[in-house]
Amino acid sequence: MNAANNSLLGGGGVDGAIHKAAGPKLLEESIQIRNKTGGCATGEAVITSGGNLPARYVIHTVGPIWHGGTNGEEEKLRNCYRNSLQLAVKNRVDSIAFEENAKRDVGIKSLTIV
C-alpha cells in the first residue's frame, strides 16, 4: 500500500520512492486515474499495476492530515485501510503490506478496522 497524495503523481518519501522504482508505467496509470476521477480523496484507495516493482499491484490511498483529532482523522485513516483491503480482495491480491508510519503521522496509537 502506498501512502499517496491526492494527485496520485508521486511526491516525497515512500510515495516518491515507489513511483521512481516502479517507472513510467505507474505514472501513466496514475495519470489515467487522475484524469478520469480527479485524483484520490482522503480515505479512498485506487489500484495500479506495480510497473517495474516485483509486486503485481500498488494500492494507493490518501491518509488524513492531523488536525488535533477533531476533524475525523481516525475514521478517514480507518477508511484508507478498509478501502485498500476491499481493493485487494476484489483484485485477488495474495498479500499486502501497509506503511505503519501513517498511523503515527496522525497521532493514532492503535486502530481497529471492522
Of these residues, 1, 3, 15, 57, which one is catalytic? 15
Write out the H or E segment, with its range, that includes residue 86: helix 73-90
Q: In this structure, what are the phi and psi dihedrals at residue 46, rounded to the nearest 5 degrees?
A: -135, 160
Torsion of CA 82, 114, 89, 4, to 10 degrees: 10
Closest CA to 48 of 67, 12, 77, 24: 24
Known active-site residue 15: yes
Q: CA 64 from chain center: how many Å?
A: 11
Task: Say how far apart CA 84 and CA 67 lie, in whole Å.
Answer: 23
Please identify every residue annotated as catalytic. Answer: 15
